[in-house]
Amino acid sequence: MCGIVGYIGNREVSGVLVDGLKRLEYRGYDSCGVAIIDEGRPKVIRSVGRIGELEEKIRQTNPTDGSVKCGIGHTRWATHGRPSETNSHPHRDCTGRFYVAHNGIIENYLYLKHRLMGEGHAFATETDTEVLPHLIESYYAGDLEEAVRRALADVEGVYGIVVVSSEGDGPKIVAARNGPPLVVGMGSGENFVASDVPALLPYTRNVVFLQDGEMAVVSSDSVQVRNSHGECMCRPAETISWTAEMAEKEGYAHFMLKEIHEQPRAVRDTLRGRIGANDTVTLSPELHNPEILAGVERLQIVGMGTSLHAAQVGKFLIESLARVPVEIDNASEFRYRDPIIAPRSLLIGITQSGETADTLAAMKEAREKGAYLLSICNVVGSQAARQSDAVLYTHAGPEIGVASTKAFTTQLTALYLLALELAQLRGTMPEYEIQRHVRQLRDVPDQIQKILDQDQAIAELGAGFSQYSDFLYLARGINYPIAMEGALKLKEISYIHAEGYAAGEMKHGPIALIDSEMPVVVLAPQDAVYRKTMGNVEEVKVRDGIVIAVATEGDREISQKADYTFYIPDADPLVNPILSTIPLQLFAYYIASLRGCDVDKPRNLAKSVTVE
């Protein structure tokens, strides 16, 4: 959570900072601010609410004369201290010489605050972050980098920070990381710092990802990266393949809608290069040590939110194709239950951002207990990718909407490929069967497109349901996680209460809720549990519930029972979860936008949850 930017160079600094913050706004949007060093004079402008309000304030304040070179900015997701202008970053020391923008949590801030107050420092905010500029002030003896290093030595917790100062012999930004990500963008006569790559894309694609414990001293013509011992790290810049256009809305009303419509392309990119000419799967080179995977006796998958739902589908895929037992864990629970990690076990962390604190902590726990780590991740170079033995990138491209869409369907695709690769390695399926599955996967992008072509029909369906206040989502088997994902999409962007249940569970409680005010979305593709699910449809109907069915093309029976039926293409049961996700995403999107909700930035949420 929270987005950080820093710029040093010849451009008009406030413009670059505001542009970067807008591109990072998905990380947090309670309040925001910038600190600019204008010819040695600091200027700070902060605002509650969205970046647009900050931009307006900057316009009115006109903080620079165009010759200014250095500044930092922050968009906040509040943890310590309510969202207010006072609590907005950047924060300053008593003398107004040191400014810090921070993403993370300083866990021992109360202790440090009391210590610093005892030394005479005056605090202005309720935040944990404010201890940092005061610590830097107390350690400063002419060398900003050294003062930051000494300040951080006192700190317990996680942080990505950028620091600027009016002191010293020229403008520079000191950036440091322990946990939340920071990436340095390398330009020509200018350099950048940001929490995430999209902020850098209009300016440069040459980047260095800071690693934990590292600090970067950034001037307009140099970037020095040092480790926690102060030793110089000579790391060449990496080139990012994402383009600036990939992080734009391109005419869509919201990023979420654009990202839903990108799914045929995204799934194609997940498959690209991973299918051989003879329709077999060729993931082995990415798995680094395929023999370990061939020999695993047990597999654990962890994730949070939408990524957890992908894990739950993955269990079905891997168990049914590769016949390895799979255990799923909510990553936030995994680490606190002293999990048993058997020898020869594999842990898969699923995370779009590669930054989710709980998922990273679960992966670390498994690593310490001896598991081989594989991550399924979208963001290249992210923390999850770096701490894994092997990475399967989903190649979905930047996902900006807070509600995860293309990240999810590409995770499902990657899991399907992984299950097939495991089946090949372990010899659990004949080659012709693997080839049949691979051919099915090749068809998925076109099948998704067929569903997207009915976008308007779903918009109309959504219009009829935008005023309801509770929804149930029911499904069985491999589609049960999709019911939970559909409910999550609806609740997070429209603020309508929605629950996903295993359809078989309905009679054990949720059925009591059903009446004529309760729409029930039932996923009922024609698979082995179709008849059972139809039984649930009957049970809802006889209690006057409203049934919206997602069914297989050509299924006339269900359309006679359900109030509304949306058809998905006839596909293999293992492909259905990908296809049935699409109408649920669109349904949630249209309901939320009709209700006037801020679809891309739902209240209280942030795209990357980098704190526990």
Residues belonging to the active site: 2, 607
Query: Alpha helices, DSSP H only, in 272-304?
Result: 284-287, 290-295
**Count, residues in the chain:** 612
| Residues within window 465-494 making contact with ligand AGP, judged by CB under 6 A | 492
Q: Which stretch binds ligand AGP (CB under 6 A): 232-240, 348-356, 423-431, 522-530?
A: 348-356
Place of tokens 């440069």: 204
CA distances from 173 to 37, 70, 110, 148, 260 (A): 10, 8, 27, 11, 38
Q: How far is the CB of 349 from ligand AGP (least distance, A)?
A: 8
Partners of 34 in the β-ladder: 45, 73
Q: How far is the CB of 610 from ligand AGP (least distance, A)?
A: 10
Distance (Å, whole) CA 154 – CA 463: 55
Q: Which stretch binds ligand AGP (CB under 6 A): 197-205, 241-249, 298-306, 466-474?
A: 298-306
Q: How far is the CB of 82 from ligand AGP (least distance, A)?
A: 22
Distance (Å, whole) CA 378 – CA 390: 13
Local structure of 364: helix, strand or coil: helix
Residue 304 within binding range of ligand AGP, rule CB under 6 A: yes
Residue 403 within binding range of ligand AGP, rule CB under 6 A: yes
Label residue 66 exposed, middle or buried (CB < 10 Å: 0-12, 13-18, 19+).
exposed
Q: Which is nearer to ligand AGP, 190 or 196 (CB)?
A: 196
Q: How far is the CB of 90 from ligand AGP (least distance, A)?
A: 26
Among 47, 165, 220, 353, binds ligand AGP (CB under 6 A): 353
Report how many residues bind ligand AGP under the rule CB under 6 A.
15
- Please enumerate in sequence order all residues whose Cβ is within 8 A of that of 505, keeping only pairs 6 or more positions apart, or say none: none
Residue 492 and residue 542 in contact, taking contact as beta carbons nearer than 8 Å: no
Residue 388 within binding range of ligand AGP, rule CB under 6 A: no
- How remote is the C-alpha of 417 from its chain's centroid? 22
Among 72, 415, 558, 609, binds ligand AGP (CB under 6 A): 609
Q: How far is the CB of 309 from ligand AGP (least distance, A)?
A: 8
Residue 359 within binding range of ligand AGP, rule CB under 6 A: yes
Residue 394 within binding range of ligand AGP, rule CB under 6 A: no
Among 47, 195, 211, 306, binds ligand AGP (CB under 6 A): 306
Residue 302 within binding range of ligand AGP, rule CB under 6 A: no
Among 267, 371, 400, 402, binds ligand AGP (CB under 6 A): 402
Residue 136 and residue 100 in contact, taking contact as beta carbons nearer than 8 Å: yes
Q: How far is the CB of 491 from ligand AGP (least distance, A)?
A: 10
DSSP assignment of 24-51 equals HGGG--SEEEEEEEETTEEEEEEEES-H
Q: Which is nearer to ligand AGP, 196 or 492 (CB)?
A: 492
Residues that bind ligand AGP (CB under 6 A): 304-307, 351-353, 356, 359, 402-404, 492, 608-609
